[in-house]
Amino acid sequence: MEYMVRFIQMHEEFRRPELDAIAELLEIDISWVAYSENSPFAIIAINDVDDPTAAARRLVSRAIMVSAIFELWGHGTSYDTLHADIKDRSSHLWPSYQECSFRFEMDAYHSSHTHAQRRSIFESLSYMAFRGPIVMSTPDERFTIFEDYDLDSKVPKQVLFGRYLGEGGRKAMSTYDLKKRSYISTTSMDAELSLVTANMAQCGPGKLAYDPFMGTGSFPVSCAHFGAAVFGSDLDGRSIRGKKGRSVMSNFKQYSTASLYYGGLAADLTNSPLHSRRLLDAIVCDPPYGVREGLKVLGHAKESLQHEVILDNGMKAHLQADYIPPKRPYSFLRMLDDIMDFSASRLVDGGRLCMWMPVAGAPEDADGEIGGEQETEEYAIPQHPALVVVSECTQYFNKWSRRLLIYKRIPDNEVDPEALTAVQLLRLQLESNGHADLGANDLNAFRKKYFQGFKTPLFQQFHPEPRDQSRKPEPST
């Protein structure tokens, strides 16, 4: 049986990877019959299950990018081909619904219809001979006609008809809306993409998820929503402890998931107290980009200050309640490498690393609009021999963008031993240099462009090129 998935037309690059991750987690074998990022309507087939309808409902029930799923009764490029396909594909199903209450609905993408037009379309389905009452509020069954138009087109490129089965998981967005949350900061990830990230991490009961840059706990909260046990760490323990009764723990209490929160640590990847055994099912993180201030890690840059400090009263400084750990400069690129190495050494086979990182600026034309051929500052996707890229999804903002990278830990017997040895030797060399190669300026170009809205003139100040005299100068700001 084939099913029509009604996606939201937003964050298009995230939709299919999220549903694939859920299907793999739930062990539901799906195949994509028709999919386009330019359309909210997709067709999938569910294979080798005793009850595909129940599997379809389970599949989308936690999907944030899905509005609903429908049993596909017909599909065509026009109403003539739609009606022919309905008769061929689903006529054997009609008798089961002839006496139940029902309702017809219309969902037209990039178009709309008058009441009279909708009624005429609904009446064209009279050959199904439904005899039950039409109920608008809570019918036994809901049937929907979907029209898919290109923008400004008068003729649909496809028409579909389906029976409603169940809704997606988008109601969770309201529950976890940051405006309603007890404890947040300016860098808290929004509820929608936090939940999508947790889905791509395949969080669920019996799973253990960790966020090494947890801040106020947006990712752990979302992972716990799906039943995973969670914990995290942050460079600044104050963000975990909070103040005035609001903290990361208060967020879990707000959502009645405190039993799944194992706690938070003041630590970073270079000073991690976690055992080196591979116990984690998921690592989810949005590392700091070093935009507003240079990146830091725990520790002193000066050798003379790298020893335990004893106060005048004989107490150890780091055991005091108001103790703030010292920090030293850190490299953005080295941080990415540390995340990859940490994940390879802590994730179980099949475990997932879900990591956000910046893509410094989408192409924009002379007027600052996205879509021109302007040079961009793009960072390479980090690699590790023990981790394979499952998917890459980009979120576009007005003047810049960031990507969500999904990796999967492969079994040791599938890891290229020569590549792994090369990576390990390189890291040993860096450690032996005492981090002397590390700098805090890897993202300087990105930081400048971030604050200036990625305007071309500023970029050209540092990377001079012959000026195109045909382009008008931008007004000064």
pLDDT per position in the chain (477 positions), as tens?
899 999 999 999 999 999 999 999 999 999 999 999 999 999 999 999 999 999 999 999 999 999 999 999 999 999 999 999 999 999 999 999 999 999 999 999 999 999 999 999 999 999 999 999 999 999 999 999 999 999 999 999 999 999 999 999 999 999 999 999 999 998 899 999 999 999 999 999 999 999 999 999 999 999 999 999 999 999 888 899 998 889 999 999 999 999 999 999 988 888 888 988 999 999 999 998 765 455 677 676 666 556 777 777 878 877 777 777 777 777 777 888 899 999 999 999 999 999 999 886 333 333 334 344 445 557 789 999 999 999 999 999 887 889 999 999 999 999 999 999 998 888 887 777 654 444 445 445 554 555 455 444 333 333 344 334 333 334 433
What is the domain class of 179-295+330-364+376-451 according to CATH?
Answer: alpha beta
> With the CA atoms of 292, 364, 458 and 188 taken in that order, what torsion angle do they form, in degrees rounded to the nearest 10?
0
Strand pairing category for 66-76 and 2-7: antiparallel
Q: Name the CA radius of gyration of the chain, rounded.
A: 27
Within 242-397, residue ranges assigned H as helices are 248-254, 332-346
Q: 391's torsion region: left (phi>0), alpha (psi -120 to 50) or beta?
A: beta
**Rounded to an integer, what is the distance from CA 156 to the centroid of its chain?**
31
Which CATH number, 2.160.10.10, 3.40.50.150, 3.90.1300.10, 3.30.2130.30, labels domain 2-168?
3.30.2130.30
CB 60 within 8 A of CB 20: no
pLDDT tens per residue, range 182-201: 999 988 999 999 999 999 99
Both tokens assigned to 425: 């030797």
Which helix (H) or strand (E) segment holds residue 31: the answer is: strand 29-34
* C-alpha–C-alpha distance, residues 443 and 436, integer Å: 18
Q: Residue 455 forms beta bridges with which residues?
A: none
- Quote the CA–CA distance of 346 and 281 in Å, as a whole number: 9
Q: In the chain, what are the domain boundaries?
A: 2-168, 179-295+330-364+376-451
DSSP string, 118-185: HHHHHHTTGGG---SPB-SSS-SEEEEEEEE--TT-SS-SEEEEEEEEEE-STHHHHHT-GGG-SS--
Positive/negative CA dihedral, 390, 396, 399, 402 = negative
Virtual torsion, Cα 228, 234, 238, 242, nearest 10 deg? -20
Chain position carrying tokens 């953005």: 332
Q: In what helix (H) or strand (E) does residue 195 lie, and over which residues does it extend?
A: helix 191-200
Please count the residues of the chain. 477
In which element (H, E) is residue 69 found?
strand 66-76
Distances in Å between the Cα of 227 and the Cα atoms of 14, 176, 195, 207, 433 are 22, 15, 12, 8, 43
What is the pTM assigned to this prediction? 0.85
- Residue 282: other Cβ atoms inside 10 A: 27
